[in-house]
Amino acid sequence: MAQAVTGHDKHGHGGHGHHDEHHEHEHESLKTFGFWMFLITDIILFGTLFATFIVLRFSTDGGPTAAEMFKMPGVIAETFILLTSSFTSGIAVLQMHRGNKKGLIGWLAVTAVLGLAFIYLEVSEFIELVHEGVTIGTSAYWSAFFTLVGTHGLHVSVGIVWMTALIIQLARRGITPVTQRKVNIISLYWHFLDVVWIFVLTIVYLMGVM
Amino acid sequence: MFQNLIDFLLNDFFITGDPLILGAQVSIGLSMVAVVFALTYFKKWRWLWTEWLTTVDHKRIGIMYIIASILMLFRGGVDALLMRVQLAVPQVEFLHADHYNAIFTTHGVIMILFMAMPLMFGLFNIVVPLQIGARDVAYPFLNSLSFWMFFFGAMLFNVSFVIGGSPDAGWLAYPPLSELSGSPGLGQDFYIWGIQISGIGSLATGINFVVTILKMRAPGMKLMKMPMFVWSVLSSCITIMFAFPILTVTLFLLFIDRYFGAHFFTLDGGGNPMMYINLIWMWGHPEVYIVILPAFGIFSEIVSAFSKKKLFGYKSMVFALMSISFFSFFTWAHHFFTMGSGANVNAFFAVTTMLIAIPTGVKVFNWLFTMFRGKLTFPTPMLWTIAFIPCFVVGGMTGVMLSVAPADFQFHNSYFLIAHFHQVLIGGVVFGYFAGLYYWWPKMFGFKLHEGLGKWAFWLWNIGFYVCFMPQYALGLMGMTRRFNEYNFDMGWQPLNVVSTVGAFIMGLAFLFQVWQIAHSIKFYKKEPTGDSWDGRTLEWSIPSPAPLYNFARVPVVDSEDAWWEEKQRLANGGKPKPLAPLEPIHMPKNSAIPFLISVSFFVMGFGFVWDWKWMIIPGAIGVAICMLARSFSYDTDYYIPVDEIERTEAALGGTK
């Protein structure tokens, strides 16, 4: 075994160029797999926050309740914006598979701008709540609300910075196996945040105003 | 201004007024000066930076983990001895109550999170890639980041005892005591940030090794042909992936309570302290399985190697490991049967807890049957394994006693519990990692540790262990509860406490023997003639010790469990050596300073949050962001080792021709 014929490199023993390509593919798929593993841990993270929110959903300590404070139009707008951004990130990936660098960058930019719009609405919602006297320290319910929704918002914000960095890399380097993997990963991340938002919308907002 | 600064340093920043802590401060200061002086005098700064601080080599990262964990074992051990001195002579106020609280808190945190975890990660790093025939882990950069996050997290936690104040709300920091209302000092903030930073590192290690094991095995090594240690690492890392995010969130929520005045776990504002206790044990109980599962893997390797037999019941062992990591998530409430969740809830958690005893029992029988009719030899790794079995069986049985919910109302928070978990954690985890350390030491460094001194250490550890903890079972039944620094003479607890303290000091002596053993073995360095120190069975023994940078000059092809052993048997029976494939350039990751710098930035940010110094938080956070972006923008991250260099290295090692 130890010293046996490897049979590892099916591409034969060609020059470096050959090796590079082979290893790069192996390398990139390894990273994508790792990102799926990371998403599992992120699901547990959000799961814990949701569980906490659900446990504390009636703990308003006699203070304002969700039904009194929530303004649904803004939330519905946020939802549509984020769902649309998920769709545009999907188009970006399709453009990438066509080898259309311009289209890829353009649609990623649209996605990032929609993400920014989402964050803008969310931050305005938070500011409005604070102006009306509801803060993270008002009661356990609001602590859980701001933390859960805020953690999702933080994820989206990180995604926007990341996407911007990726747009710059794409502009400089074009579509290579490495940038391709990076685009795939961020679109995975973006769809994931969209799914989490569906749960936020349902459990926090819709069940809150029910 | 200057006077203000001095006042601040003496009154708030440094802990002053305690001779024990003053001694520690002086010795920390002196040893830092000594290290800096030695590095400068011997001109080793560059060497330290290029060979160690920026390395992405799993073998070196493993060694750094082990060094750090042994230092932490020393500190955690000193904490333990201080507590034992206090309990032997409670009338003398050796440690006053506040100091005692701080010490039992740091003892627990350090031993579990900063001793057991890094020692475990050290062994993962050194052994797993070699056992599966890989050249590194899946993500070498992330691996280095994990180490430095652990290291700086541990430093942030440890610094609290000389700067700002130790945490003192118990190792799991139950609220409301750990909230601002109960712990207004900075200790609890050091606790949160120290564990949070190192916890991110642990989570990353979990992901890294799951992917390494699933994706990086040598051709032919099917899952059911993996060495048992690799299986145990897989089960442990899967458990890490599911448990550690819960810890991250729990500490994050406690931080939000303390820093932003939220009400998750406070008594006012509708908060629910019980929520914290549930969450922390949803991580905490899997955590103890995370550290014990790899020990089971180590014992399996060692039992099989020193019985010269295949491991008995391979499939049942795999099943046992995986079912333990599954069930570990359904037992958490047995830590607080007394909190009034009701009979049905308690019954459920009692039954799940008892269920875990079944796969564990399966393992014990597998080890015994592996030894049965084997050609047994007893070098130190095997001694630790043999000592583990009865110790762990007793510890496990007392665990089953504790799992009986009605009886637990009697045992809860008593020294019976203390004795139980020390018996499974020392008798299981510590013995296991020591066994692993002795077993793989020649693979790490190319020489064996002195057997004679190792036997002294072994016997002293074992005798010390029983002398220390057996009396504590009795003390628990006599009503002695944990976390008190004083008791009255008329309780009748003193004689057994004195015995227990004597046992603790015997273990302290045993540790000194181990230090002596290492120093002695380095001084009388005797190079191992081959890479196969123990006539081993798995792939790590097929390459030279210590392994070259790229581990395997040629990627091995595996066709059986115990692949190296089978190959040796085949050759001994007149089989022909297999033809060698031509060498090929090897693809390797480049060293990187980014993991170190990210972790330093995290340290700065965490330290800033502890003191609520915005001028420190902001640069720290910016540092983290810049490092991450710098990584994203760097494309030149790996290189090839050319064939002639591999040939030279192999020739120098006298390994494969």
In tens, the pLDDT along B313-354 reads 999 999 999 999 999 999 999 999 998 889 999 999 999 999
CA angle B28, B33, B34 (to 5 degrees): 95
Domain hosting B508: range is: 44-592+637-653
Q: Where are the domains of chain A?
A: 25-209
Q: Mutate which of B238, B267, B543, B557 to disrupt the A interface (most A C-beta within 10 Å)?
A: B557
CA A85/CA B634 separation, integer angstroms: 28
Q: Which of B268, B269, B584 sits opposite A9 (nearest CB)?
A: B584
Same domain membership, residue B186 and residue B139: yes
CA B586/CA B442 separation, integer angstroms: 25
Positive or negative CA dihedral for B338, B339, B340, B341?
A: negative
CA B522/CA B375 separation, integer angstroms: 31
**Token pair 């025939």 is at which residue?**
B133
CA distances from A60 to B261, B264, B273, B423 (A): 15, 11, 15, 44
User: What is the least distance, in Å, from the CA of B203 to any CA of chain A?
Assistant: 8
| Residues of chain A with C-beta less than 8 angstroms from the C-beta of B213 | none
- What is the pLDDT, as a whole number, of residue A24? 66
What's the CATH fold of domain A25-209? Four Helix Bundle (Hemerythrin (Met), subunit A) (1.20.120)
Q: Mutate which of B264, B628, B653 to disrupt the A interface (most A C-beta within 10 Å)?
A: B264
pLDDT at A18 over 80: no
Same domain membership, residue B6 and residue B63: no
Q: Mutate which of A143, A152, A182 to disrupt the B interface (most B C-beta within 10 Å)?
A: A143
CB of A5 within 8 Å of any CB in chain B?
A: yes
Same domain membership, residue B108 and residue B30: no
Q: Which of A3, A33, A60 sits opposite B656 (nearest CB)?
A: A3
Contact: A1, B271; criterion CB under 8 Å: no
User: Is B162 within a domain?
Assistant: yes
Q: Among B195, B238, B250, which Cα is nearest to A51's?
A: B250
Q: Which of B253, B552, B629 sits opposite A52 (nearest CB)?
A: B253
The structure tokens listed for B529 are 């003639």
Give the residue ranges of chain B where pLDDT is below 70.
1, 655-657
Positive or negative CA dihedral for B244, B440, B381, B378?
A: positive
Q: Which of A59, A61, A147 sits opposite B253 (nearest CB)?
A: A147
Same domain membership, residue B147 and residue B12: no
User: Is B249 within a domain?
Assistant: yes
- What is the pLDDT, as a whole number, of residue B432? 97
Q: Which of A8, A143, A161 sits opposite B264 (nearest CB)?
A: A143
Q: In which element (H, E) is residue B588 found?
A: strand B586-589
Contact: A139, B629; criterion CB under 8 Å: no
Chain A's closest residue to B274, CA to CA, is: A55
CB of A141 within 8 Å of any CB in chain B?
A: yes
pLDDT at A14 over 50: no
Q: Are B332 and B282 in contact (CB under 8 A)?
A: yes
Q: Are A82 and A114 in contact (CB under 8 A)?
A: yes
Which residues, 6+ apart, have CB-to-CB distance to B630 below 8 Å? B594
Alpha-carbon radius of gyration of chain B: 25
SS3 state at B105: helix
| Residues of chain B with C-beta less than 8 angstroms from the C-beta of A148 | none
Which residues, 6+ apart, have CB-to-CB distance to B286 below 8 Å? B239, B242, B243, B325, B328, B329
| Residues of chain A with C-beta less than 8 angstroms from the C-beta of B270 | 56, 59-61, 139-141
- What is the pLDDT, as a whole number, of residue A16? 46
Q: Mind listing the pLDDT tens digit for each residue in A89-144? A: 999 999 999 999 999 999 999 999 999 999 999 999 999 999 999 999 999 999 99
What's the domain count of chain B?
Answer: 2
Q: Mind listing the pLDDT tens digit for each residue in A37-70? A: 999 999 999 999 999 999 999 999 999 999 899 9
Same domain membership, residue B88 and residue B31: no
- What is the pLDDT, as a whole number, of residue B267? 93
Q: Mind listing the pLDDT tens digit for each residue in B78-91? A: 999 999 999 999 98
Please report how many Cα atoms fall inside a 13 Å half-sphere around the Cα of residue B122, on the Cβ side. 23
CB of A21 within 8 Å of any CB in chain B?
A: no
CB of B581 within 8 Å of any CB in chain A?
A: yes
Of chain A, the end-to-end C-alpha distance in Å amounts to 66
Q: Mutate which of A6, A57, A181 to disrupt the B interface (most B C-beta within 10 Å)?
A: A6
Same domain membership, residue B649 and residue B577: yes
The size of the A-B interface in CB pairs under 8 A is: 171
pLDDT at A23 over 60: yes
Q: Mutate which of A16, A48, A149 to disrupt the B interface (most B C-beta within 10 Å)?
A: A48
For B547, list phi and psi in degrees, rounded to 5. -65, 145
CA A115/CA A156 separation, integer angstroms: 7
Same domain membership, residue B221 and residue B153: yes
Same domain membership, residue B281 and residue B354: yes
CA B412/CA B274 separation, integer angstroms: 17
- The ipTM (two decimal places) reads 0.94
Q: Mind listing the pLDDT tens digit for each residue in B517-568? A: 999 999 999 998 888 999 999 999 999 999 999 999 999 999 888 999 999 9
Same domain membership, residue B485 and residue B580: yes
Segment 257-286 of chain B within 8 Å of chain A by CB: 257, 260-264, 266, 268-272, 275, 279
Chain B's closest residue to A57, CA to CA, is: B270
Contact: A3, B554; criterion CB under 8 Å: yes
| Residues of chain B with C-beta less than 8 angstroms from the C-beta of A5 | 557, 578-581
Q: Which amino acid is residue B131, in one-letter code?
A: Q
User: Is B598 within a domain?
Assistant: no
User: What is the least distance, in Å, from the CA of B566 to any CA of chain A?
Assistant: 9
Same domain membership, residue B141 and residue B33: no
| Residues of chain A with C-beta less than 8 angstroms from the C-beta of B130 | none
Q: Are A137 and B269 in contact (CB under 8 A)?
A: yes
Same domain membership, residue B59 and residue B5: no
Contact: B543, A139; criterion CB under 8 Å: no
Contact: B578, A4; criterion CB under 8 Å: yes
User: What is the least distance, in Å, from the CA of A201 to any CA of chain B?
Assistant: 21
Q: Mind listing the pLDDT tens digit for each residue in B388-418? A: 999 999 999 999 999 999 999 999 999 999 9
CB of A173 within 8 Å of any CB in chain B?
A: yes
Q: Are B289 and B326 in contact (CB under 8 A)?
A: no
Find how far residue B379's CA is from the centre of its chain.
Answer: 24
Same domain membership, residue B55 and residue B12: no
CB of A73 within 8 Å of any CB in chain B?
A: no
User: Is B605 within a domain?
Assistant: no
What is the overall mean pLDDT for chain A? 89
pTM recorded for the entire structure: 0.94
CB of A39 within 8 Å of any CB in chain B?
A: no
Contact: A140, B215; criterion CB under 8 Å: no
pLDDT confidence tier of residue A21, bands split at 50, 70 and 90: low
| Residues of chain B with C-beta less than 8 angstroms from the C-beta of A136 | 256, 260-262
CA B92/CA B158 separation, integer angstroms: 27
CA A153/CA A127 separation, integer angstroms: 14
For A100, list phi and psi in degrees, rounded to 5. -90, 95
CB of A19 within 8 Å of any CB in chain B?
A: yes
User: Is B611 within a domain?
Assistant: no
Contact: A34, B139; criterion CB under 8 Å: yes
Q: In which element (H, E) is residue A190 found?
A: helix A177-199
Q: Are B165 and B267 in contact (CB under 8 A)?
A: no
Q: Are A158 and A186 in contact (CB under 8 A)?
A: no
* DSSP sequence for B385-437: HHHHHHHHHHHHHHHHHHHSHHHHHHHTTBHHHHHHHHHHIIIIIIHHHHHHH
